[in-house]
Amino acid sequence: MITPPDRNSLLAKLPAVAERRIAVHVTRDAERHIRSGHPWLFADSIVRQSHEGKPGDLAVIFDQKRRFLAIGLYDPTSPIRMRILHQGTPTNIDTAWFNEQLAAAAAVRAPLRAAGGTTGYRLLFGENDGLPGLVVDCYATTVVVKIYTAAWIPYLSVLNELLATVQPYQRLILRMSRNVADLPEYLYGLTDGAILSGPPLVGPIVFHENHLCFEADPIHGQKTGF
């Protein structure tokens, strides 16, 4: 039986996202790329910004005429300074917005579950699902979140709650890219392979793909374990 995950003490230590948003002005080339849907903004494309921020702060990009261009997650530790979440018209990036993105991703993968014979699959494909730098894989009743930017760390608590709604699970595990794992000052006690919610994991996880049986090691294996 799958039970809803309890909030882990590690998640309770995470910082709140700053209410003040960073205003960012970019080069004309970057402006053109963002309008065409590019999900990244590199540091050398920033002409000026209102103030410095921490990983996960929301930043708003304005065009040459000071009109809203896009909004995304800021990461001062990465050459990819922003991961774009939305562009075009102003919008609120809040719990409801994240829930909509996750629900849309889950709906696309729903046929995999409905067909039977598959209990392991990728629920969220980062940039392709509008959440750049974030990957979510499912292995039976275990869900693995891998982050490629420290900007996602302040959002892990809300992701834990929302993922349990769109994809009920027993255990949530965090994996980090090497560049994120090497930033202890922004990890708030988190480590690569940490269990954010649910019971300890003993041994590999058995899952199925098109009725074929596989094993995954979400804590020590490559990428998300498979």
Please give the Cα distance from 197 to 200 (Å, whole number): 9
Q: Let me know how many helices (H) and strands (E) the chain has, helices first.
A: 5, 13
Q: Which two tokens stand for residue 215?
A: 């094993």
What is the pLDDT at residue 93? 97
What is the pLDDT at residue 1? 36
Please give the Cα distance from 37 to 30 (Å, whole number): 11
How far are the Cα atoms of 9, 194, 219 from residue 222, in angstroms, in the given order? 26, 14, 9
Domain range list for the chain: 22-87, 94-216
What is the pLDDT at residue 41? 98
Q: Domain 22-87 is in which class?
A: mainly beta
Helices 156-166 and 95-115: angle between axes, nearest 10 degrees = 40
Q: Residues 125, 135: contact at Cβ < 8 Å?
A: yes
What is the pLDDT at residue 107? 96
- Residue of 174, 167, 124, 171 whose CA lies nearest to 150: 174
> Which residues of the chain carry a pLDDT beneath 70?
1-8
Q: Domain 94-216 is in which class?
A: alpha beta
Q: Residues 22, 160: contact at Cβ < 8 Å?
A: no
What is the pLDDT at residue 8? 63
- Residue of 210, 221, 196, 220 whose CA lies nearest to 142: 196
What is the pLDDT at residue 5? 44
Predicted TM-score (pTM) of the model is 0.92
What is the pLDDT at residue 114? 83
Q: Residues 108, 128: contact at Cβ < 8 Å?
A: no
